[in-house]
Amino acid sequence: MKFWKFSTQALSSLLAAVSVVNASGPSDGEAAADPNSAVVQLTSSDYKSFIDANPLVLTEFFAPWCGYCKILGPEFSKAADSLNESHPNIKLAQVDCTVEEELCMEHGIRGYPSLKVMRGSEAAPEDYDGPREAAGIAEYMIKQSLPAVSTPVEAEELTSLIDAQDKPYIIQVLPEGYNGEKDKANSNETFAKVANENRKDLTFISVESKDLVDSLKTKLPKASLNKVKSPKYLIVRPDSPEDISEFSASFDKESLTSFIKTEIVPYFGDINRDTYLMYMTSPLPLGYYFYNNEEERKLVEETFKKLGKEHRGKINFVGLDANVFGRHAEALNMNPEVVPLFAIQNLQENKKYGISQEENPEGPSTKTIEKFVKDFFKGKVDPIVKSEPLPTKDEIANQSVVKLVAHNHDDILKDTSKDILVKYYAPWCGHCKKLAPAWEELAEIYGSNKADAKVVIADLDHTANDVNTPVEIAGYPTLVFYPANGKIDSKTGLREAVVYDKPRELDSLIEFIKDQGGHKIDGSQLRESKEAVIEEDEINHDEL
């Protein structure tokens, strides 16, 4: 069963722009690496033995027809050749999924290109989410080959390590002799686990001895390092060494990871291929400032840095060059022709909020932006909802499938007396078009559009309506069932839902509604009755 996949529907245009802007090299390259390069082509017969024989492998799962694979192919070859000269123990490999279908299925490959970091066949593969150009790929993999945590022994070694950093880094400070060897080992083990999972974002350093802590006090005078009695963690930004984030709360892997994910984000950053996932996987709302040129960006930079620091852990702020990313303004329900503009997107609830462009045709002032952000957190700003018009009375009476739009979606779904099956679709989706006749027949069987219907068959154009759902709409079509009298989802206020993942055939859909529905209605009997009536009508017509 194939789905059109995307990260988040409202962000698809941004992802496309990021991919194009950050891709170097010709777009008409070959997806398969140059046969003369150091990239190893793997098959099911030699895959395991190759992974076992090499301690660190980056494997690309690709399809020859994939456009993004063709962009990546030449860069992947260059990276492999570079690493072959400087770090020959790091290998780059490819698997053609159109040939090795079973191998790709074993690794859960659902889109191309998919890259995974392998550390032998016994260890679980790690998803690669680093750069997609040669130098960045090589740098990422070299970092993967190093110990996750640096443990300097001498003060000079620590100073040199800190001086070499050009990106944020984290330091674990353990009190000397910290509660015995067992507690120290536990702290180091947890720190190492977090480091392994986040080494692409930060350099991890651990210090313990009094001499090293004293050296750290000199190097980082703004850090609170007097009388350290329990593990302390410092995130330091080389471009602003006085701005140190400290963490010393109850220590566990989850809380330290959360601290890191929050603190590594700049107060006011930019979205590109390297930072895209950092922002998109954050649970925080995202504030976008679209600008025409660098001069406009600089005019608001200090304001956004101040807002970013003030609301750290509550919202992230980014700048977007409208000449490159202008189309994404449409996904935020804003006019891309009126720039500068500012909008906030709540990624968790798929809601967008924007400063009025009609009232600010020349762009919002810094004071207007500050007030808007303040009002946003006070709940005084209404979301901008994209919706098709509500269906007319004639449409409701003449259509078997109930049409949902943003303005009636929640109201209809909150009627818990009915079993409701919704098709979330896109007009351009071939699989959606193929399903349409069966969907229409399904609605006719249940008398879906009648006021007393116990089963409602509905659909919603997900590209034209902003709605929040209790399950992720991760492709088209996504069929979501809301059983009658179901439990309420605390996040959306709608019923908890079930995603239909069986064959998109009439018999299977009817059986699913009977099994999962609150009313347990047997649609096959309704279908037989309907067919009998049609047959009788045809006989009567023939007799006439």
Indicate the helix (H) or strand (E) that contains 543.
helix 523-543
Q: Which residues are catalytic?
A: 66, 69, 429, 432
Give the pLDDT of residue 525: 86
423-470 pLDDT per residue, tens: 999 999 999 999 999 999 999 999 877 878 999 999 999 999 999 899
Give the pLDDT of residue 300: 98
β strands within 347-443, DSSP E: 351-354, 402-403, 419-425
- Higher-pLDDT residue of 17 and 310 is 310
Give the pLDDT of residue 24: 41
Give the pLDDT of residue 39: 97
The residue whose two tokens read 């840095």 is 305
pLDDT above 60 (res 4): no
24 Cβ contact partners less than 8 Å away, ≥ 6 residues apart: 75, 133
318 Cβ contact partners less than 8 Å away, ≥ 6 residues apart: 268, 269, 270, 271, 279, 286, 287, 288, 289
Report how far residue 308's alpha carbon sits from residue 193's, in angstroms, rounded to the nearest whole number. Answer: 29
Banded pLDDT at 6 (limits 50, 70, 90): very low
Give the pLDDT of residue 23: 43
Report how far residue 328's alpha carbon sits from residue 369's, in angstroms, rounded to the nearest whole number. Answer: 19
Give the pLDDT of residue 537: 52
Query: Residue 120 — left, alpha, or beta (φ > 0 → left; ψ -120 to 50 → alpha)?
Result: left
Going by C-alpha positions, the residue among 495, 493, 498 that lies closest to residue 349 is 493
Q: How large is the average pLDDT for residues 483-492? A: 89
Banded pLDDT at 252 (limits 50, 70, 90): confident
Give the pLDDT of residue 19: 53
Give the pLDDT of residue 517: 94
Query: Residue 198 — left, alpha, or beta (φ > 0 → left; ψ -120 to 50 → alpha)?
Result: alpha
Give the pLDDT of residue 273: 66
Share of the chain above pLDDT 70, in %: 89
Torsion on CA atoms 373, 378, 384, 387, rounded to nearest 10 = 150
With a threshold of 0.75, does the pTM exceed it? Answer: no
Going by C-alpha positions, the residue among 403, 422, 425 that lies closest to residue 476 is 425
518 Cβ contact partners less than 8 Å away, ≥ 6 residues apart: 419, 483, 484, 485, 486
Give the pLDDT of residue 539: 53
Banded pLDDT at 166 (limits 50, 70, 90): confident
Share of the chain above pLDDT 90, in %: 60
Q: Please give the domain boundaries of the chain with CATH numbers for all domains.
A: 31-145 (3.40.30.10), 149-153+162-263 (3.40.30.10), 269-377 (3.40.30.10), 393-531 (3.40.30.10)
Give the pLDDT of residue 276: 78
- Higher-pLDDT residue of 143 and 98 is 98
Q: How large is the average pLDDT for residues 9-22? A: 54
Going by C-alpha positions, the residue among 461, 462, 426 that lies closest to residue 4 is 426
Going by C-alpha positions, the residue among 308, 316, 175, 163 that lies closest to residue 243 is 308
How is residue 379 written in tokens? 């709940």
pLDDT above 70 (res 62): yes
Q: How large is the average pLDDT for residues 47-66? A: 94
Banded pLDDT at 26 (limits 50, 70, 90): very low
Task: Mean pLDDT check: name the lowest of 140-149, 220-229, 392-401.
Answer: 220-229
Give the pLDDT of residue 1: 29
For residue 360, CA distances in Å to 114, 335, 352, 369, 431 come to: 43, 12, 18, 11, 42
- Higher-pLDDT residue of 324 and 289 is 289
Banded pLDDT at 420 (limits 50, 70, 90): very high
Q: Which of 204-213, 360-369, 448-457, 522-531: highest mean pLDDT?
A: 360-369
12 Cβ contact partners less than 8 Å away, ≥ 6 residues apart: 6, 331
Report how far residue 389's alpha carbon sits from residue 381's, in angstroms, rounded to the nearest whole number. Answer: 23
67-116 pLDDT per residue, tens: 889 999 999 999 999 999 999 999 999 999 999 999 998 888 878 999 99
Q: Which of 379-393, 443-457, 487-501: highest mean pLDDT?
A: 379-393
Report how far residue 248's alpha carbon sits from residue 270's, in angstroms, rounded to the nearest whole number. Answer: 30
Q: How large is the average pLDDT for residues 125-150? A: 89
Report the chain's mean pLDDT, rounded to a whole number.
87
CA–CA–CA angle 69, 75, 81 (5° rounding)? 130
pLDDT above 50 (res 256): yes
Q: With both helix axes pointing from N to C terminus, report the angle between 523-543 and 506-516 in degrees, rounded to the nearest 10.
A: 130
pLDDT above 60 (res 543): no
